A and B are shown apart, each in its own frame.
Chain A
């Protein structure tokens, strides 16, 4: 049987399973916002672990990282220390976010910040930043799904049609099953993608080079420029390293789809175990990704779209059944993140915009209905973005992370009690300054050239934005009133109870 038939059939089976899971999840769902949006805050370790890693490792890990190794060499492994930062941040910050969410009933990141800084303007700003920058993440997943369908069907299904099919399945799945369906499918998607990328990389390295060790030896002799920093194109300077590490760790942690996952944990101990063990999955996934990217640079140096290196290698050199399984795994990687982001954006728009500013006091069933309608609207946005010109998948992800990174000073101000808190004016001014500097330092198409260019002095634009944000937030907070003593005592008291006392 031809490879494209096997690959397309397996992706079709995967999509049917996804929809079946949504129907089953729907039968367990109650008409309740907390259940629809947060799984009732009862998620245990195994499900939480697999949904977090599957959401973290989206198309950018499955396809994009191979493309980055292919283009920039082993530098992506050096920046891989972000996977450890994610674990540490979950352990230290994620647990505090969970404790506050449980104590005060937070559902979105904006709930946390608006409550502490006593400001609906902060809520609106955080909601806008959250949605704006995670939409870029949707673009990454939609693009990857298009690539996968294009390669799997050997060009028989056009890129745009492939994107539309996959997006529709993701949206129907989410609308029918809510977060419970997302979590359940993430469990098998997370396991599937891990096995798939390892299996694919090992098969390819044995098929093409005689094994992983031989692959590394060939790279050492033929492309030594790929094995040191800053890489063949001089990309991984220390400044870019700092930017990538921060945007891929804190920049993604502070996106709503990750913060909402912290709220859903059944208890703080589960979240600590998650922080301690998440890096095992995240870091070890880049071992096979390096084999794919570096091996691909030797075998297909002329490939135009670096992000396609893994599926292209599979299609040419792996058995049909394995190619099908792995491409379905790649689709799972993209879908698991896509549905999570759609869910998070739906939550933010329903809770922070519709429920607060458009229609207060409606029934739970009404808000669930509106949430589902918002997901459908996001389908159109995702499709429109996916058919526009775009950069490497990893580059879009870091841009997305750079935006969410600007929430860091405000979140740190809530989670870490200090002598003096940031003020609402400081948070808003800092956020504005950070986003402004971000726009001036990232490679955006503004219609004119900036004299300092993108990433000035070799430092990632996200870091410049964060520096400006922090300095402005501190300066403005020094001259403007902070949150009331009662609020500071209530929120920081809860943090201290969690950290130093019993849960």
Chain B
């Protein structure tokens, strides 16, 4: 729950609307905001699966 909440904060305002809110640096033409959020979403899924496997 704590890990999920902590990572979740990276995808919410104000972080999403300030720190992540830019196009550069881009990777393979994908804008930074899009990629950064994708990384956060994958991390959140990983936390949920980890919790399930641990039987939390």
Could you tell me which A residues sit within 8 Å of B by CB distance?
74, 77-78, 80-81, 83-84, 87-88, 91-92, 213-214, 216-217, 220, 224, 227-230, 238, 241-242, 245, 272-273, 275-277, 279-280, 283, 290
Contact = CB atoms under 8 A, between A and B. Distances in A.
A279 B17 contact: no
A87 B48 contact: yes
A217 B41 contact: no
Interface of B: 1, 4, 8, 11-14, 16-17, 21-23, 26, 28-31, 33-34, 37, 40-41, 44-45, 48-49, 51-52
Contact of A216 (B4, B30, B48): B30
Given A227-B33, A238-B14, A277-B49, 6 more contacts: A83-B41, A213-B29, A228-B23, A275-B48, A277-B45, A279-B48
Contacts of A245: 12
A276 B23 contact: no
Query: 9 closest A-B pairs (Cβ-Cβ)?
Result: A238-B13, A217-B29, A276-B52, A276-B48, A227-B31, A216-B29, A84-B44, A81-B11, A213-B29
Nearest to B49: A276
Contacts of A213: 28-30
A74 B22 CA distance: 11
A275 B53 CA distance: 12
A78 B49 CA distance: 22
Nearest to B50: A276
Given A228-B22, A238-B14, A279 B29 contact: no
A238 B17 contact: yes
15 contacts: A77-B33, A77-B34, A78-B11, A81-B8, A84-B45, A213-B29, A213-B30, A216-B28, A216-B31, A227-B34, A228-B23, A241-B17, A276-B49, A277-B49, A279-B45
B52 A230 contact: no
Contacts of A283: 41, 45
A77 B37 contact: yes
The CB with the most chain B CB atoms within 10 A, among A77, A81, A272, is that of A81
A245 B37 CA distance: 14
B4 A228 contact: no
A216 B45 CA distance: 25
B41 A228 contact: no
A294 B52 CA distance: 36
Contacts of B28: 213, 216
Contact of A229 (B16, B29, B45, B51): B16
A102 B51 CA distance: 23
Contacts of B22: 228
A81 B41 contact: yes
A109 to B, nearest CB: 24
A405 B8 CA distance: 20
B40 to A, nearest CB: 8
A78 B37 CA distance: 7
A83 B11 CA distance: 12
Contact of A228 (B1, B11, B21, B29): B21
B13 to A, nearest CB: 3
Contacts of A214: 29
B21 A279 contact: no
A473 B22 CA distance: 41
A7 to B, nearest CB: 31
B45 to A, nearest CB: 5
A275 B29 CA distance: 32
Contacts of B13: 238, 241-242
A81 B12 contact: yes
A230 B37 CA distance: 15
A224 B8 CA distance: 26
A384 B28 CA distance: 48
A35 B48 CA distance: 31
A228 B52 contact: no
A466 B8 CA distance: 21
A92 B4 CA distance: 12
A229 B48 contact: no
Contacts of B12: 81, 241-242, 245
